[in-house]
Chain A
Amino acid sequence: MNLPNSAPHPGPLAAAAMIAAIVLCSTAGEVFTAAAMKSIGDLDLIRARSGLKGAIRAVLTSPLFFLGVGFLALAFFSLLLALNHLNLSLVAPASASLTLVTNAIAGKIFLKENVDRRRWTAAILVCIGVYLLAH
């Protein structure tokens, strides 16, 4: 049964808040997941030493990994909420492209990655590219 969507159309501030929620949760999820994998170490080496079970155990015993997955799940539900109120053609490109830039900033601040000029340029080019491709 198709129910008419009776929710009022959200204003620009509400739309921005919904997209910001997706971007922030997604960035937090990516950063925690990346931090977890860095703290675990090279999975290829762990698998060579302890087998596939050892590699899976190393990932599943990391609290940071579950924190990351939790934030990624929040990002997914924020996306569902946003799609309930906004058009896919706005939400998908805006959230995907902004996440690339916020991840570069978060990678530099929290993961202490050396985001040099080459990576900043790449993040901005890919950000605009994803927006154009998904729009």
Chain B
Amino acid sequence: MRKGKIQIQMAHHKLAPRQYLILLLVAVCAPLGDSCLSRGMTHLEPISLANPATLIGAVFTPWIALGIALLIAFFASYLTALSWADLTYVLPATAFGNVIVALLARFWLHDAISVERWAGIVLITLGVSFVAQGPSLTERPASAVPEGQPR
């Protein structure tokens, strides 16, 4: 290390199975939550801003309540992941959720997927596999590691 210069390197941080589970929750909860909100809102009567109470009532319908619960689970898992992994490591995981939802739509709901969308699925999967092979966290000098952070 050169004197006076903080060197920041990639450490060989391997994630525990539990941490991969958190990343899976990050990937799955956001698109599923959005899908539940979309399904819930399209099944409601058109809501006017002149009657905002209807909007509050919508929160208590089953699909929208499930969507909100999934989005809260996403945010909690996302914050947890950011506490032990780099932002540039976690973000591709969030994009991978779109692939999961597209594949679910294809094989579960039998939706058609265009060639462009298949190309998108392949590119995202390739990108995520690139990142997943590398370390999850940039190594900091010991003095820069905050309380509670594994050294």
Contacts and interface: CB of A to CB of B under 8 A. Distances in A.
B146 A114 contact: no
A104 B131 CA distance: 12
Contacts of A116: 10, 134
B23 to A, nearest CB: 13
B88 A104 contact: yes
A129 B10 contact: no
A114 to B, nearest CB: 5
Interface stretch (A6-14, A15-23, A34-42): A34-42
Given A38-B82, A126-B128, A129-B120, A118 B146 contact: no
B81 to A, nearest CB: 8
Contact of A129 (B87, B91, B122): B122
Contacts, number: 140
B108 interface: no
Contact of A100 (B89, B95, B99): B95
Given A112-B8, A126-B92, A126-B124, A42 B98 contact: no
A132 B116 contact: yes
A133 B124 contact: yes
Nearest to B50: A1
A118 B120 contact: no
B45 to A, nearest CB: 12
Contact of B147 (A41, A112, A114, A131): A41
A83 interface: no
B40 to A, nearest CB: 18
Interface residues of B, number: 44
A118 B134 contact: yes
Given A113-B138, A121-B130, A132 B10 contact: no
Interface in A36-50: 37-46, 49
A67 B8 CA distance: 26
Contacts of B122: 129
Interface of B: 8-10, 18-19, 48, 79-80, 82-84, 86-92, 95, 98-99, 102, 116-117, 119-128, 130-131, 133-134, 138, 146-150
Interface of A: 1, 30-31, 33-34, 37-46, 49, 58-59, 96, 100, 103-104, 107-108, 111-116, 118-119, 121-126, 128-135
Q: Lowest 8 A-B CB distances belong to which pairs?
A: A41-B148, A132-B120, A129-B123, A133-B120, A125-B127, A129-B124, A126-B127, A37-B82
